[in-house]
Structure formats: C-alpha cells, structure tokens
Amino acid sequence: MQYGKIPGVEKPVSRLVQGSVMISSENVPACFTLLDEILDAGCNTFDTAHVYGGGDNERTFGRWLRERGNRNKVNIIGKGAHLSQDRKRVTPWDISSDIYDSLARFKIDHIDIYLLHRDDPSVPVGPIVEALNDHLKAGRILAYGGSNWSHTRVAEANEYAAKHGLAPFIASSPNFTLAVQNCPPWDGCISISAADQAPAREYYGKLQMPLFTWSSLAGGFFSGRLRRDNISTFETYLDKLAVTVYANDDNFKRLDRVQQLADEKGLSIPQIATAYVMSYPLNIFALVGCQTSAEYKANVAASEVRLTAAEMAWLELKSDSR
C-alpha cells in the first residue's frame, strides 16, 4: 500500500480509500469482517457520509471502531451538507448540524478529513469557510475540503481564506476516470475527466492538492461486464445509469484498448482502469467501494502499476501508438 500526507492530518493516508456505503447494521458480522480484512490489507482511511443509510452507516462504522479499539489507526473521511429532497443545505447551520450528528453517531471527538458533500454555487463562500474554520479551531475536524466542488469555487474559497487569515480547503473530491461522460449522472456532479476539464486538472496539478477521486471504473463501465452487444440487457438502476452516462463509441474504443493492455500485462479491465487513475500526474487518493477484501487487494495491485505516458495517451485516444 502506498500512502500520502494530508495537511493537518497526523497519520499517513492510504492512497486507496475504502468507501463505506455498504456498511450497515443489517449484517454486522459480515461488515466488520470486510472492514477488518481491508484494514489488514493496508487501508487506514475510510470514506463515510452523513447521508449514507440515514445515519446507520456512521453508527455501524463507529461501533466497529469501538469494538476493535482501532480509532488511533484509522482516518475517517466524513461528508456533510448534502442536499435534501426539499432544499440545498450548504449553509453554516447545516454544516454544523451534520458535524455534530456525525460525531454523535460515530461516538468520537473528531473527524480527520471533512468534505462538503455538495456545493451550492448560489451562496457566498465566506460564511462557509468561516464555519468550517470554527470547527477546525474547536478540534472537531482536522482538515476540510469539498466533494463535487468545481476548481473555481475551491479557488474562490481559498482566496477568501487567504485574505482573512483562515485555513483553506486542503482537498477536493471530483469524479475522475478514463471514460468521458455523455451527461452527468446527477445534478451537481463534478467530473474532471473530459478534455474541457483541462483547466481543473492544471489547477490541481499546479497546487498538488490532494484529490479524493471517485468512480475510477466509470460507474461500472470498466467492470468488464459491459460490451457493445449487451448494453440493452441491463436491468438494475446503477447498470442502466452506467450505460446512459458512459456508453458511446469513444468510450468503447477506450474499453477495447483497456482490454488489450490488460491482456498484455496479465491484469483485469478494472485493474487497468484503476492503474490509469493512479498513474495520472495528480495527487490522487482513489475512493473505491470494494465488496470483498479480494477486490480491495486487486485494487492495491493495480495501484502499484505505473502506466507510461505513451500508454496513457493511447488509452485516452490521443495517440494510435504506444
């Protein structure tokens, strides 16, 4: 496992961050076994969210921490200020409410890295930055950033922080994958994958800001299951969403090349898709949602593969030679 450093966080942070959306009180033994095995595989950082499972996710994860006595080994990424059915919730009041809720559910005194789960570009950044700094000063969070915040909004927030002597956003969490979206999977999704997102990649590259990128497999497009001849056969919501968002001729050409490179390197399609993300010259910590420890270990192996610049350009369809 490779690790990186996040400003404000004492422990190293594993480059592969395990998601926890599948963790629930409905099957505690299986969930705890999964968390145990992934921790043993070298992952010390787990992604959670106030909205997952209506709070059951955080309560169950907190129970695992207490029963295993391993809080000092684990970094928690918490997320809050997700929109509700009725309104956007990126306000100082909602941020505070969600932080207090999460701490009570986990039964801990601080969250290592706190990400705003969504943005509301119609609201000014100043009060948001000030509210997060209040929680930093109180020790309830150690560092903060934004999930699905555009790089221009992150820059605006950090400009405000600099002018007012406040701590800035230290991380961003956009979508990033080899495939390019036909359309966003949901309103407010921020992806930095497409050609027109070069300014975002340049901004993050210049600062080397930590990026907790999500959906390396393009919502399952690079799972190895989707082909040109079977996209009409998928029935589940997530499979249909992957088809809607990613099924296009260029992405299938990328998939063909991923398959070819995987065959040559003795790897799988998902491993090459993961290796692409981890080989990109940005400060990436990839969020993964492994259902088994075997999946996680396969991701670890993929994260250690470094593709060449020529291979990357070939996968991106920028070159016909590698």
* Domain membership flag for residue 294: no
Output the pTM of the full model: 0.95
Supply the DSSP string of 172-218, one letter for each residue.
Answer: EE-B--SS--SS-SSTT--B--SGGGHHHHHHHHHHT--EEEB-TTG
* Segment 87-113, tens digit of pLDDT: 999 999 999 999 999 999 999 999 999
pLDDT at 239: 84
Has residue 317 got a pLDDT over 90? yes
Domain of residue 35, CATH code: 3.20.20.100
pLDDT at 229: 86
Distance CA 226, CA 201 (A): 28
pLDDT at 322: 84
DSSP class of residue 27 equals G
Distance CA 175, CA 215 (A): 6
* Segment 11-68, tens digit of pLDDT: 999 999 999 999 999 999 999 999 999 999 999 999 999 999 999 999 999 999 999 9
Identify the domain containing residue 42 by its residue range: 3-173
What phi-psi label fits residue 16: left (phi over 0), alpha (psi between -120 and 50 degrees) or beta? beta
Q: Are 143 and 113 in contact (CB under 8 A)?
A: yes
Has residue 168 got a pLDDT over 90? yes
The tokens of 99 are what? 């932080």
Which position has the token pair 């080397």?
208
Distance CA 316, CA 293 (A): 30
CA distances from 259 to 163, 164, 226 (A): 49, 50, 12
* Domain membership flag for residue 188: no
Distance CA 299, CA 295 (A): 6
- Label the pairing between strands 141-147 and 211-213: unpaired
The H-assigned helical ranges of the chain are 28-40, 56-68, 92-106, 125-138, 151-163, 198-207, 237-246, 249-265, 269-279, 293-303, 309-315
Report the chain's mean pLDDT, rounded to a whole number: 96
Number of domains in the chain: 1
* Domain membership flag for residue 259: no
* Domain membership flag for residue 292: no
Distance CA 4, CA 204 (A): 16
Distance CA 30, CA 26 (A): 9
pLDDT at 232: 83
Going by C-alpha positions, the residue among 94, 109, 78, 289 that lies closest to residue 171 is: 78
Supply the DSSP string of 205-251, one letter for each residue.
Answer: HHHT--EEEB-TTGGGTTSS---TTTTTS--SHHHHHHHHHH-SHHH
* Domain membership flag for residue 284: no
* Domain membership flag for residue 237: no
pLDDT at 14: 98
Distance CA 20, CA 282 (A): 24
* Domain membership flag for residue 154: yes
* Domain membership flag for residue 189: no
